Structure 1
Amino acid sequence: MDLITKLPRTPHGNDAIWMIVDRLTKSAHFLAIKESSSVEKLAEIFMREIVARHGVPVSIVSDRDTRLTSRFWGKFQKEMGTRLHLSMAFHPQTDGQSERTIHTLEDMLRACAIDFGGSWDQYLPLAEFSYNNSFHSSIGRPPYEMLYGRKCRTPICWGEVGQRVLGSTDIVLKTTEMIQMVRDRLTTAQSRQKSYADKRRSDLEFQIGDYVLLKVSPWKGVIWFRKRGKLGPRYIGPYKVIARVGKVAYRLELPDELSLIHNTFHVSQLWKCVTDETAVIPLEDIQIDERLNYVEKPIAIIERKTKTLRNKVISLVKVQWQHRKGSEWTWEPETEMRKDYPELLADIDFEDEA
């Protein structure tokens, strides 16, 4: 289960969707709720919409919403015999199904709001009906057919009309065969998704003493590190790695102004800081004007050479620059240097030296 928040408020006061997906059959329920609903209200909706129709679930995987991590919710599920599992950020193995369903639902509601107008909660039952009767490649059939063992009778696809008489043994065998086939398909789909992720994954490891940059997540309405919105920096730092926590987390040495933030971060939030000490220019060596500007200008000509191309020969000179970031020597065309800095080449005659 997961919550979709920050939606436009409808005339009924709904501004969030509680999405609940079955891990085996992929059948989903989309429940319109208020973002300010208490955990007691969520428990009431859960009993009426889920437990009354499908029974008590064995386990629930959810994110770390304050209502789903409260003592009331934990005690409520424990009394019914349900195990609670909380997902972790940047770990799609636990909540990848719900995130993929959220993207699909948002696209469906966006199309309904644009094409039909009105409030999105009016079309939420139609979106749920359409989702549960759409073909899913991971299970090889629609979720409705997997859940109830028969095709759904819809206005555009009536299917078989009438009763089918099957013996109890045939029903058990048919259901068992279907469940085994779905589990095999889910294993194949998970392996395929894992191979896609492994191709783009690069394992990062840092040593104690290394310097890293810390990623700033652009949460809406939340100020992180005294920066707000899209104009804030993507990375801040560098900070020193002081310890490694487990296999995928590191503890950083943060300054005093970040003392209220926990100093342990996931490896995906870090970026290796590559520094070149030779490229650092001391501030006292830079000469600036009254407007705090400085100009890069050549100091001397070190060497000369010619570069032969297919149709012409270009004369190059090796120039030593002042206030140049990075390398202080570069090769420049001799004609451009004579045009821009004639006084630098006035007293130099490379032909006589040759």
Structure 2
Amino acid sequence: MDFIYGLPIFDGFSSIVIVVDRFSKYETFISASKVYPFEQAARLFLKYMVKYWGVQNIIISDRDTKFAGRFCNELFKLMRGVKQPIRVHLRMLPVEAACTKCDCDRAGKRTKKWEDRKHGDVNFKVNDAVLAKLSGILHNPYHKGLVLIYEGSFKVLKWVGIMAYRLEFPSTIQAHPMFHLSLLKLYHQDEEKLDRGKSHQEPIGVKASYNKEVEVIHAERSIHRVGQWPRHEYLVQWKGHP
């Protein structure tokens, strides 16, 4: 905080009280009619600084220690009169609200910028071939590194609501056919080599099916191992086979 006096009179003011924030270097110039004693300087400081910036922890001035002590005593006396400490704890200062809003807006724009790079407006039509992400929906006994992220392709049967689609699943896949848009991806088939990109591994969630019919079960046993679920084995006689 500094004082400049002896300036040409303009609009009845001939002095300036300068207050500079030590960290942000934000400057505040307060017009004054003359060189104010500590009482008037404290009133100006309360009106133009404490009102918008709150109570400062450290105030540095070029005046002597007597002026600084009297200035601080007068400032705290005025603050007790307006109950400034209570208002500081009950609400946010205007400058804090403005800075917080700017930071939130900046963070939101930055997040939107990076999100838009990876996502766009994607809409599927009926009978389109899509890939579905089944790894996060169905139970998978294998490690996630050994399982395909997207399975398919599947045909789109219906557009449900705004962000969901109904797919046509074969009878061997035990999964609900409704999928959110974020779990689908358009399937691009290679026209020259139709088998390129197709996986020969069965999708997760496929229920066991046999092309033989059981005639009789001769024996059954359970294998128990430490730390594992018991495994059941059956001795089966297939119909039409020895």
TM-score (norm 2): 0.39
Query: Could you say which structure has the higher helix fraction?
Result: 1
- Find the structure with the greater CA-based Rg: 2
Higher RCO (CA < 8 A, seq sep 6+): 2
TM-score (norm 1): 0.28
